[in-house]
Structure 1
Amino acid sequence: MDATLAPVTPLHVLRHLVTAVLCPSRPCPDTAPRLASALVLLLLPAALLYPTLDFHLLEPDEGRYAQIPKEMLQQGQWIVPTLQGEPYLDKPPLMYWLTALSYWLFGVSAASARLVPALAVHLTILSVYFLGRRSVGEKAAFWAALILTLAPGYCAVARLLLLDGLLTLCITLSLLCGYEAVRTGRFRPGYWLAAAVASGLGFLTKGPIAEILLFIPLWIFTFLTHGPGASRATPPPAAVRPVWYLLFFAIVAVVNLPWYVAIYLQQPRFLFHFFWQHNVLRFLQPFDHLEPVWYYLPLLLAGLLPATPLFVVHLFRLFLRPAHDPSRPALPEFFWLITALWCLLFFSCSGSKLPTYILPAYPPLCLALGAAAVRYRWHQLLLPRLSLAAMALLLACAFHVLIPLYARERSPYGRPELIDPFVADKSQTIVCFSRNCDSIAFYLDRSDLRSVRTRDVNHLYVACHFRPRTVILFTHREALAGFRNALPPSLMIVETVSLRRSYGHPWLDKILGITPWGLCDIAVIAPRSLQP
């Protein structure tokens, strides 16, 4: 049948709407990097990130992710991560390996540990510029990288000692390279293979989420821009033959299988624990961190400041401006927008939600906003420039002064003069009740702090009878009271110290907290028969 007489389907209309109405413009041809842009993106993030790494670890995540690679380095055990000497099977090892390498090069410290996520943040910003310019143009990529640098929801969070900053780097590189492999209409194998390596490293950081956030937007974009009904004003993305998908997953397997096989041989329960409990069940049947479905939208909008108004205006203009308007976006911008929206949708549907999960949405969203900033001439307006400068000063003040002060107030080891008399003796048995306090272990250079849950408190009571002194770190505000009420008559509390304090105003107590994160009280327990 003649193509001109072929029936028009809703899919044809949808493709025409995307390629000829929503995104009819051609991509910017000016993609050559500029020295001034590169210098700004080298120096500004460096000034914000690297001088501000050495502040107290924040419980619980930073303490945990500082302690695991420390034990890995001390024990020479590179296969099975351990926490307080026990196997820790919640996550793959790439972040631990890199942090242990940083310890080996620069010594064990909070700054050495945070150097890994800080480098990941900086490399993500640079990749947005140097790789993103190929699809959206040099000027748009520069503004995208600058918006990303000054987005507090990204830069202030991803620099912390968490897995999500490194994961965001891997996902961003895989998206940038994967899109470049198909963008021009001619498949480019080199970019495809680079995307596979980055995706494999993402898998080795936090599991299959790296592949989920790559392939779904690529397939959606190809489906909407390739085939009958799509405009031919710009080349459609290249089709990827099955053999290249096989090669992609083969590279992911080569990166990951050696460690996954090795840990399975030593800890057979890892595969079920990690893939089923910490991936599938946390998504479908969460056991912690339950939040509403709209949880990430306000976080993302607030985290984009001062570019949030640009994002809101961009969404409205995308659908309300006439098709012939020269300020309509090009297809690459549409790809980055649906990539960010897919990330937002996926994590919004997850049952378990943490603020850091949404970090991979920031780089693609900033690429879309960078293109919008140039097209709307937002970057030439005085108010946006002043707001970006103000945000840079605010972040510098927060990173250099406010966050270190806040971390000291909330750190379990923020007041060592109260804690050291109880824990300085390395032969002293220390028990955490009712959850870990890994920051204390990190600062004391110990890996033998035992944690006892509330359900196992009777075992703790029994063990206390066989030791002259047991120091217990109470990690919950009500834990000491409950422990005291159930204490057997044969045991007694010899000494206690409370880390609670008031700042004089209820709102200050609420912001700063009346106790550190992860440590509220310390007590010494002894058998009554051994007391004079």
Structure 2
Amino acid sequence: MPSSRGSGEVLVDRVMNEGELDERHQSNIATRRSVEVVVLAVVSIWAFFTNLTFSLLEGSEGLYAGIAGEMGRRQEFFDLTYQGIPYFNKPPFFFWLLNASTTLWGDHELALRLPGSIAAVGTIVLTYVLASRLMSSTAAFWAALTVATSHVFLWYGRRVLFDSTLTFFITLALFAWGYVQLLGRSSWWYLLSFLSMALGVMLKELHGFFLPMLVMVSYAVIQRDWRMFKDKVFWIGLSGALVIMAAYAGMLGQGYQHHFHLGAAVKVIWNPTASGPPPEGHPFYWYLGMIWADFFPWSILLPSTLLLFWARRPFPNRSVEVLSLIWVFGLLIAFSLATMKREPYLMPMVPGFGLMVGYYYQHVLSLPERQTPMPIWLRLLLGILALLFAVGIVIGPLLLKKRWLVPPDFVPPLFIAVIAAMSGVLLYAAIRSRLHLAHYMVGGLAVGFMVTVVNIVFPAIDQAFSPRKITEEIKLLAREGQPALFHYIPGWPKNEDAVYYLKRDNVVPELPTPDAVAEAARRHGTIRVVTEEQHAVTLEKRTDFATERIREFRQPSRKHLWLLSVRSGA
């Protein structure tokens, strides 16, 4: 009896200990998940809601801000103009968002960039939730961190551009579709998917419909899964999306109808000269090179991720792998076939790439660190990444000086030391085959890259020769007194950002034509005129007034402005 009672007590103790260990394990998982969510929240807010007030850059921001400004001043929301010229290049939905934001918060950079930043963070959230449902919280954390800190998403996601918002709508469409197709949730999620596609079309033509549909149909074909085509809610959602798109197109003028014609969309997407560079643009293979820079620093893990996916074949039995690969490479092929190729166009690929990286990290971090040696090629790639960061933080400012006219010493020495130290740890981990440490350091350097872009590079550009700084100098000259100062930049300018700042207030009045310049000179005797190079040449050819170049305002990409003295010849 004593022996039996002792065995029973031991059994009870063992069960209780296992229960305590299980509770402790669950508590650790919950704590880790909470920490990951906090880290993602901090990184996302830092990346997309800080330093939004720097100058508009690279032309397109000023162009879109100018169109939204003219929309507000004219109170005409369906017929867009720029510099008084009808603008048919894009549908008006995006400019409605900009106008709504500036109406609420004022006409300034923060309000203009807020819609794009909100969309970027929304994409990060969708990526996290989708990855957590399809894989695990670990995969979700690394997938979302990849999206938040990839170069293309950081550089363009917080700007006055279409691509961040389009990426959100495409991601939301695939998120809702995946809830039905991969997770077996209610078919009513299809309605949200098609609503997102309709909004994507309203934002930026038929891209918003065909890109997510390409992923959906390709997945169905590869998996031989035809359930969505047999679901009546799918067809209800498709019909509703077509109704929304048709109603939207019907509200717009004739000049916008080409955005909604299937033939025009196919003509734009398919490039018959794919074997070589098209008349205007890049060759078919251009994006194959650009993804290494635009997905930096996570692109260094792309070979490892693809090899892991290959090792897990056959693919038809693995829904997550199939979805990720189609999302990235299906869109890559579609973008490569398009005539026009631009870096921001790659943004819709980033959430899919994030799913691939999350899948890879889930596998790597499940392996025992000391018992799992890294392959030599992985150690080499991680070593190259460490050297890129160590060297880049030093010579990068010199390259930016050439492009953005910034001073070569704008990076704080302490920050250089921190990045160099983190690079050293990554190099050590690669040499010593410390699997987990090396991959954690990739994430740490990605966050460091985000801080570099947001808190160092953008402010340096803003303080150097940004359009806002130059136009502030011009407005200061106008306030100082005579001669009267005007701007003459008719038609479509080269420096759209500077024109936006000059027209945001009436400190420097506009002269619309050379005759108006002549009349102002006759009235004042001598005036000063700010203009661009091509318009300065036009004014210098006039015989009814004398023109002298006083000062050049240097701008990136040779979009310089000139200050002229114009003296009446009458």
Calculate the TM-score normalised by the size of structure 2: 0.71
CA contact (8 A) 1:480 1:521 kept: no
Letter of the 1:398 partner, please give it: V
Matches within 5 A, 1:432-451: 432=490, 435-446=493-504
Letter of the 1:345 partner, please give it: I
Matches within 5 A, 1:383-394: 383-394=438-449
Aligned residue pairs: how many? Answer: 461
- Deviations for 1:473-518, whole angstroms, at most 9, x for unmatched residues? 5445xx3675477x14334214532113xxxxxxxxxxxxx65663
Aligned counterpart, 1:188: 186
Q: Give the drift of 1:435.
A: 2.3
CA contact (8 A) 2:521 2:568 kept: yes
| Whole-angstrom CA distance in 2 between matches of 1:287 and 1:204 | 28
CA contact (8 A) 1:289 1:353 kept: no
Letter of the 1:178 partner, please give it: W
Change in Cα spacing, 1:353 to 1:48, as seen in structure 2 (3 Å) is same
Counterpart selection for 2:559 from 492, 497, 518: 518
- Deviations for 1:130-171, whole angstroms, at most 9, x for unmatched residues? 133222333212211111112122222211111001000000
- Deviations for 1:43-85, whole angstroms, at most 9, x for unmatched residues? 2210222121010111310111222222323332222223233
Aligned counterpart, 2:8: none
Name the % identity. Answer: 20
CA contact (8 A) 2:286 2:336 kept: yes
Q: Give the drift of 1:372.
A: 1.8
**1:498 match: secondary structure:** strand
Which range moved further: 50-59 or 403-412? 403-412
Matches within 5 A, 1:347-362: 347-362=335-350
| Whole-angstrom CA distance in 1 between matches of 2:537 and 2:521 | 22
Does 2:554 correspond to 1:492?
A: no
Does 2:516 correspond to 1:528?
A: no
Which range moved further: 127-136 or 518-527? 518-527
CA contact (8 A) 1:293 1:348 kept: yes
Change in Cα spacing, 1:471 to 1:351, as seen in structure 2 (3 Å) is farther
Counterpart selection for 2:326 from 315, 338, 345: 338
Matches within 5 A, 1:92-131: 92-131=91-130
CA contact (8 A) 1:135 1:180 kept: no
Which range moved further: 388-397 or 275-284? 275-284
Letter of the 1:262 partner, please give it: M
- 5+ residue gaps, structure 2: 1-28, 272-276, 368-434
Matches within 5 A, 1:188-267: 188-226=186-224, 236=225, 238-241=227-230, 243-264=232-253
Q: Give the drift of 1:100.
A: 1.6
| Whole-angstrom CA distance in 1 between matches of 2:536 and 2:97 | 41
Which range moved further: 338-347 or 290-299? 290-299
| Whole-angstrom CA distance in 1 between matches of 2:173 and 2:259 | 27
Q: Give the drift of 1:293.
A: 1.6
Does 2:310 correspond to 1:290?
A: no
CA contact (8 A) 2:511 2:517 kept: no
Does 2:461 correspond to 1:398?
A: no
Q: Give the drift of 1:461.
A: 5.0
| Whole-angstrom CA distance in 1 between matches of 2:490 and 2:563 | 9
Q: Give the drift of 1:386.
A: 1.4
Letter of the 2:212 partner, please give it: L
| Whole-angstrom CA distance in 1 between matches of 2:278 and 2:454 | 33
**1:431 match: secondary structure:** coil
Aligned counterpart, 1:468: 521
RMSD: 3.6
Does 2:55 correspond to 1:56?
A: yes
**1:52 match: secondary structure:** coil
**1:272 match: secondary structure:** helix
Counterpart selection for 2:258 from 272, 284, 288: 272
Change in Cα spacing, 1:427 to 1:179, as seen in structure 2 (3 Å) is same
**1:413 match: secondary structure:** helix
Aligned counterpart, 2:431: none
- Deviations for 1:280-323, whole angstroms, at most 9, x for unmatched residues? 5554579975112221122212222332232111223433x386
Q: Give the drift of 1:363.
A: 0.5
**1:415 match: secondary structure:** helix
Greater share of residues in helix? 2
Q: Give the drift of 1:97.
A: 1.6
CA contact (8 A) 2:90 2:256 kept: no
CA contact (8 A) 1:412 1:518 kept: no
| Whole-angstrom CA distance in 2 between matches of 1:58 and 1:308 | 26
Q: Give the drift of 1:406.
A: 1.3
| Whole-angstrom CA distance in 1 between matches of 2:536 and 2:75 | 40
Does 2:316 correspond to 1:316?
A: no
Aligned counterpart, 1:13: none
CA contact (8 A) 1:347 1:353 kept: yes
CA contact (8 A) 1:89 1:273 kept: no
Change in Cα spacing, 1:464 to 1:309, as seen in structure 2 (3 Å) is closer
**1:189 match: secondary structure:** coil
CA contact (8 A) 1:411 1:517 kept: no
| Whole-angstrom CA distance in 2 between matches of 1:308 and 1:329 | 26
CA contact (8 A) 2:364 2:436 kept: no
CA contact (8 A) 1:136 1:367 kept: no
| Whole-angstrom CA distance in 2 between matches of 1:209 and 1:521 | 40
Which range moved further: 132-141 or 142-151? 132-141
Aligned counterpart, 1:135: 134
Which range moved further: 119-128 or 368-377? 368-377
Which range moved further: 405-414 or 113-122? 405-414
Change in Cα spacing, 1:416 to 1:91, as seen in structure 2 (3 Å) is closer
| Whole-angstrom CA distance in 1 between matches of 2:337 and 2:356 | 23
Change in Cα spacing, 1:131 to 1:517, as seen in structure 2 (3 Å) is farther
| Whole-angstrom CA distance in 2 between matches of 1:328 and 1:292 | 32
Letter of the 2:561 partner, please give it: C
CA contact (8 A) 1:378 1:384 kept: no
Aligned counterpart, 2:388: none
Q: Give the drift of 1:92.
A: 1.7
| Whole-angstrom CA distance in 2 between matches of 1:387 and 1:77 | 49
Letter of the 2:221 partner, please give it: F
Letter of the 1:271 partner, please give it: Q
Change in Cα spacing, 1:421 to 1:34, as seen in structure 2 (3 Å) is closer
- Deviations for 1:443-462, whole angstroms, at most 9, x for unmatched residues? 2344999899xxxxxxx556
Letter of the 1:406 partner, please give it: I
Calculate the TM-score normalised by the size of structure 1: 0.76
Aligned counterpart, 1:27: none
| Whole-angstrom CA distance in 1 between matches of 2:159 and 2:493 | 21
Matches within 5 A, 1:494-509: 494-500=548-554
Q: Give the drift of 1:440.
A: 3.1
- Deviations for 1:88-133, whole angstroms, at most 9, x for unmatched residues? 2211223212222221222111111111111111110001111332
Change in Cα spacing, 1:322 to 1:429, as seen in structure 2 (3 Å) is closer
CA contact (8 A) 1:434 1:475 kept: no
| Whole-angstrom CA distance in 1 between matches of 2:336 and 2:462 | 29
CA contact (8 A) 2:131 2:355 kept: yes
Which range moved further: 349-358 or 428-437? 428-437
Larger radius of gyration between Structure 1 and Structure 2: 2
Change in Cα spacing, 1:328 to 1:222, as seen in structure 2 (3 Å) is closer
| Whole-angstrom CA distance in 2 between matches of 1:398 and 1:383 | 23
